[in-house]
């Protein structure tokens, strides 16, 4: 009599060799510095007849004057939309649409960007527009009014999404409304920003010696592309850039609870703790530790709060790096009637991960998840070369990208425990909640002293 396997598919399972570790050796591309200080990263890619380009400009929303918060956003958004000295805004739009090309400008807290995509055959024509946008914007009055009105409309509607509002206002309270990391534009500061202010902002920050360009695509050679960039940007004069002094971050380091009363179906909870400065090597074990804690559905927060207890659909954690101290965040959107259970479990998991060493297989799964997602961040040469340019922009070592996988792989259970003990202090966390207290199952004061805020505070 033949005994059958309990799993009839077991006999069909192939005998596969163990997977080897990922050997991540990305190409470096070329780095060239023009005479005027413009840094250029280049990588040829003849897969498609397309050329991509991104310029990183050393500025950001945190550089705005305090009385004109929103100025950088207005200036960046109007580089192309406000026309240039050579091209009217409508002419730019029509030409780019006809050529199936794009030129876009934007700004974040710590960087401004101008992006370009063009077919190879149209590169010279689109590159001329791109150079004009970077160097010689006109800030047409009619377009400035449109952009300003759009910005004011966004301010008036910024609380429509309470989940996003909770995160924004939590960060604002964490750093303080008077610190650049906690700023938000207001109607008065946006209206105070004039066209002359935008021109002065551009003249100060948009300089070749304050810019890094990454380019990849179907050009014959890197030398040919450099020649084109020299032709377009060689006459862009370098200049001394005046940066504002950013005050040091001061975090109280004691439990605080802030609440905005809002009659909505969910309660949105943000928990913030003091994080790390950019370039701190603790980022590697902290990345693995966070992946285990709140990096996805299978993380501890996802498993306990979302899957096992059914208390939330959205729950996660991450950490944000900044030149001065960043923050570590835990976030959950949950029913107000059970908000205390979700919050208590979040606090518990932040505490638990620093009190006992994690199983080795859990650490390995987290490391593998990080490495796999990192490697696949670069599906094209342009993503890779623009990432190298971005790392230089933010001050990372030239080999940061090349050594990232290896540095993540060094994290073991002992490093996770040590990092969690050092970084996680839920007893000192700031907790920010938007929701209807009438529906709460327990008073917020159970979690610490409460400060009640109005939605527009």
Least confident among 15-24, 68-77, 287-296, 315-324: 15-24
* 190 CB burial (10 A radius; 0-12, 13-18, 19+): buried
Residue 443, pLDDT > 80, answer: yes
**Residue 20 binned pLDDT confidence (cut-offs 50, 70, 90):** low
Query: What pTM did the predictor assign?
Result: 0.91
**Residue 19 binned pLDDT confidence (cut-offs 50, 70, 90):** very low
Residues 434 and 260 sit within 8 Å (Cβ to Cβ): yes
Alpha helices in 136-221 (DSSP H): 141-156, 162-175, 187-191, 195-205
Span 224-265, pLDDT tens digits: 999 999 999 999 999 999 999 999 999 888 999 999 999 999
Confidence at residue 25, expressed as pLDDT on a 0 to 100 scale: 82
Confidence at residue 10, expressed as pLDDT on a 0 to 100 scale: 40
Domain annotation for the chain: domains and CATH numbers = 30-233 (3.30.830.10), 256-453 (3.30.830.10)
**Residue 457 binned pLDDT confidence (cut-offs 50, 70, 90):** low
Confidence at residue 361, expressed as pLDDT on a 0 to 100 scale: 96
**Residue 112 binned pLDDT confidence (cut-offs 50, 70, 90):** very high
* 296 CB burial (10 A radius; 0-12, 13-18, 19+): middle
Least confident among 9-23, 27-41, 331-345: 9-23
Span 184-210, pLDDT tens digits: 999 999 999 999 999 999 999 999 999
Residue 295 φ/ψ, nearest 5 degrees: -85, -5
Nearest-CA neighbor of 292 among 420, 109, 153?
420
**How far is residue 207 CA from its own chain's centroid?**
24
Q: What rounded mean pLDDT belongs to the chain?
A: 94
């Amino acid at each position: 009599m033949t005994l059958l396997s309990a799993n009839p598919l077991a006999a069909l399972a192939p005998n596969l060799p163990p997977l080897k570790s990922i050997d991540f050796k990305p190409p470096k591309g070329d780095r060239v510095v023009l005479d005027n200080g413009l840094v250029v990263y280049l990588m040829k890619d003849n897969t498609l007849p397309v050329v991509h380009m991104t310029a990183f400009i050393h500025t950001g929303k945190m550089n705005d004057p305090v009385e004109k918060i929103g100025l950088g956003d207005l200036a960046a958004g109007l580089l192309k939309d406000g026309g240039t000295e050579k091209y009217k805004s409508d002419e730019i739009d029509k030409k780019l649409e006809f050529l199936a090309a794009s030129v876009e400008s934007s700004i974040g807290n710590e960087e401004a960007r101008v992006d370009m995509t063009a077919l190879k055959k149209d590169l010279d024509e689109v590159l001329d527009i791109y150079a004009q946008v970077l160097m010689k914007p006109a800030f047409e009055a009619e377009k400035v009014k449109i952009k300003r009105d759009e910005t004011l409309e966004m301010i008036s509607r910024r609380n429509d999404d309470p989940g996003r509002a909770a995160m924004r206002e939590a960060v604002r309270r964490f750093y303080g409304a008077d610190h650049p990391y906690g700023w938000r534009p207001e109607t008065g500061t946006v209206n105070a920003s004039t066209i002359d202010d935008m021109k002065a902002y551009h003249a100060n920050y948009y300089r070749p010696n304050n810019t890094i360009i990454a380019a990849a695509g179907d050009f014959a050679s890197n030398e040919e592309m450099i020649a084109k960039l020299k032709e377009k940007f060689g006459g862009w004069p370098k200049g001394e850039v005046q940066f504002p002094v950013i005050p040091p971050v001061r975090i109280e380091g004691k439990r605080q609870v802030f609440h905005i009363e809002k009659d909505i179906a969910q309660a949105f909870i943000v928990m913030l703790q003091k994080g790390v400065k950019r370039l701190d090597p603790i980022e590697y074990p902290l990345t693995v530790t966070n992946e285990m804690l709140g990096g996805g559905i299978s993380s501890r927060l996802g498993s306990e709060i979302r899957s096992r207890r059914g208390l939330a659909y959205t729950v996660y954690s991450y950490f944000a790096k900044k030149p001065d101290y960043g923050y570590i965040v835990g976030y959950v959107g949950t029913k107000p009637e059970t908000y205390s259970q979700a919050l208590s479990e979040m606090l518990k998991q932040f505490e638990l991960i620093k009190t006992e060493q994690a199983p080795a297989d859990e650490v390995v799964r987290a490391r593998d998840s990080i490495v796999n997602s990192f490697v696949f961040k670069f599906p094209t040469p342009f993503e890779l070369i623009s990432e190298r340019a971005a790392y230089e922009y933010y001050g990372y070592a030239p080999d940061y990208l090349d050594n990232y996988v290896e540095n993540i792989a060094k994290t073991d259970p002992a490093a996770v425990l040590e990092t969690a003990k050092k970084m996680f202090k839920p007893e000192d966390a700031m907790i920010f909640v938007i929701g209807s207290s009438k529906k709460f199952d327990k008073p917020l004061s159970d979690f610490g002293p409460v400060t009640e805020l109005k939605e527009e505070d």
